[in-house]
Structure formats: structure tokens, C-alpha cells
Structure 1
Amino acid sequence: MYTPSYFEMNDRQEINEVIEAYGFATLTSLHEGSLTATQLPLLLSEDKTELIGHFAKGNKQWTDIEDQQVLVVFQGPHCYISPSWYETQNTVPTWNYVTVQVAGKVKLLKEDDSRLWQSMVALTEKYEEPTSAYNLLDVDPSYISSLSKGVVGFTISIDKVEGKAKLSQNHPKERVERVVERLRNMNKSDEKAIARWMEKKMKVKK
């Protein structure tokens, strides 16, 4: 990933926070000689060394992915930055964003591997509202068993991880403050999230 030094994310805890907050990722591999990508939710293992997820068995990307080195992209918040927010018109638009890329080797899980079921429970618990009455553990085991035959679980070793936070660090502080103020006042979740990231990275005063 092309990352100028001032956009680098070097704090592994911060990178892990992005992975956990934006876990619906894009997994790219070679399938039958062509690049193939699937969007799917992934979980970070407790020791932070692996990602775990599952394919629908009908998605043939899994059939030749064992032991492949794959690329996973976690896309954080992103938004357009207008030059009209600057103190000068003598500049161009840009895009601010936060993203993490993970490269690693895939291992398929056997059907009876407990990690597959545990990951499904963990995914449900992560994304259900705290007040939700739904509990995957309450579903009829025979129904779960039949559904489980339709998925293929896998892990991805985290062999290389890169984080990038492009947040106007290459602009003067006064300009960054202007951008943060505009984003903060927009009623859009990504824009507000980018404003928070900019404040965090640039220590812009509210």
C-alpha cells in the first residue's frame, strides 16, 4: 500500500481497533488464475495473530485458497474534502480516509472445528444490539447443523499488516481546523468519524 510517512499508522493497538470497528472486509485471492474478491465479516483472534471467518460453500473462492497468501482490506471511515473549506482556492479536492491491509496465509477449518461455531457466536454477539432478545445459542441445534454444512470456515495468519490514516497531516494546522469544523457540522457518520480521527491525529482543539 502506498503510504507517505506522515500518513502511516504504526500503533498496532490502533490498527487492531480499526480491524475490530470495521470488520466487514474485502478478501482478495487468486481463484482459477484470476483475482477474486469477497466481502465478508472477519474477527480478530484473542491473541491478535489471526483473522477468522467463513465462506458460503457455494462461493468457489474457497476451493483453491488453502495455503494462499491473500490480501484483506478493512475500510474505515472516508469522505470528500472540498477546497472551498480552505483559506485559499489555489488548491484541489482530496479524500480523507482510514484503512488497514492485512496479508497472510489461509488455512481452512474442518467442519467439526469448534472455532467455526465459536466465531459465529462471537460475530452475532458483536453485532446484535445489547438489548436484542436474539441469541444464536437458542436456535434449534439441528437447524444450525444443517446451515453449518453450507459454510467453510478459515483462518488467516497476520503475516504483514499496514495501516494508513490520510487525514490532512500534510496541510497547515489552521487549514486542518477549518476542515474539522466543517466535517463536525455535517450530519453524516463518516464525515463526523473523520473529524474525530483528525482531532486525534492532529490534536486539533475543539
Structure 2
Amino acid sequence: MARDPLLPALHTGVERLGLTLPEGAAEALITYLRLLERWNRAYNLSAIRDPGEMLHRHLLDSLSILPYVEGDSLLDVGSGAGLPGIPLALARPGLTVTLLDSNGKKQRFTRQVALELGLHRLRFAQERLAHYRPGQSFDTVVSRAFAALAGYVPEALRLCRPGGRVLAMKGRLPEEELAALPRSLRGCTLTALDVPGVAGQRHLLTWTAPAVSATEEANP
């Protein structure tokens, strides 16, 4: 099979991010991108049409938060076409990723990706965040430009294990959204991300879920 012309750009971008991918992950990421490109023509999964732009604004943007993913289970809220969840799952094979999205056509696409790429640790939930009751908590909960922080952070913390991380991927620093949060939730870690090939600001906002108190541990 011919080498995909986007592979060198992916390898360069991954190197610039300071990451190392497991064997075969780069090829799988490109296969995912090509599936997204093909399905996008009929299902309008992404406003970005150019594959080279997809590589930077979808794949590398998603991979840029890999160092901030905590533990072995991740919930991707408003996952859409599987971003950032699928690139993170490919970059960290031991990670169990649940894709939460209420859009049926996008869930059908991500299920097909899981089938074609053999992503056996990928899970799916077609539900709205406020109504989602999975019966488990997650080490990391993430959203990528999913919604205003006031509608996301409290619900994400509800689904995050004690001491786990809630991540929100944003472009420009969302000062108004932060101000709209309850005062107790305004304290978060702000990280400026430098994503290769992506112009403009990118930020990652991180909250740590409260640890279980000694009283709660004694009285489960």
C-alpha cells in the first residue's frame, strides 16, 4: 500500500508536540482522518474539508492534550466525530475512551471507525450530558469547544472520580465563561497550547475533582 502523503506532516507535528506515538498509531490516525474526510462528504461531520487542515486542527489539536490526560478512563463530552477521544485512544492504547454525543449520525461514524481500526476499548453513549448516568466515574473528562463552561464544568465534575481531571479545550481564553461559573469553580489551571499549523490561541483549562474526605470514606 502506498504511503499516505500526510504521514510526514503528522510525524513532524507529533515531534513538535514532544510526543512519541506507539507503533502503528500514526498510520491509524491517518486512516481515521481519511474516513472522516470520506464520511464528511455525505454526513457533514466537520466544517473543515481540507485533509491537511484536518490534520492540524483535528489530529494535532487533539493530541496536544495527551500529557494532561489522567488515568486509564476518559469521557469525551460532545465528542462529535470522535475528537479528541479517538486520537487520544490511538495514541494511548491502554486508555478506555467513552464518546458521549446525542447526535446519531456522528455516533454511527465513530462506531464504524472503532470497527475498522479495531478500537476495542472505545465505548459509546448517545445521550445529553445533563441526562447521562453511566453508573461509573472517569479518571479524565474532556470537552473540545463543546459548550459554555457553566453548562459543562459542574456536570463534568459529577462524572469525574475524586482527584481526577476535568479538561476544557478552548481557543481564546474564555474570560466571560469563567466569570459565569460559580465562584467555587473559577479556580482552574490555564495552559496555553502551541499546536503546530494552527493559527490563533489555544487554551486548556483544567479542574481537579475534589478528593473523597475521610468522613465519606468511613461512611460510603
TM-score by length of 1: 0.25
Q: Hey, which of these two has a bigger chunk of strand by percent?
A: 1
Q: Hey, which of these two has a bigger chunk of helix by percent?
A: 2
TM-score by length of 2: 0.24
Greater RCO between the two (CA within 8 Å, min separation 6)? 1
Structure having the higher Rg: 1
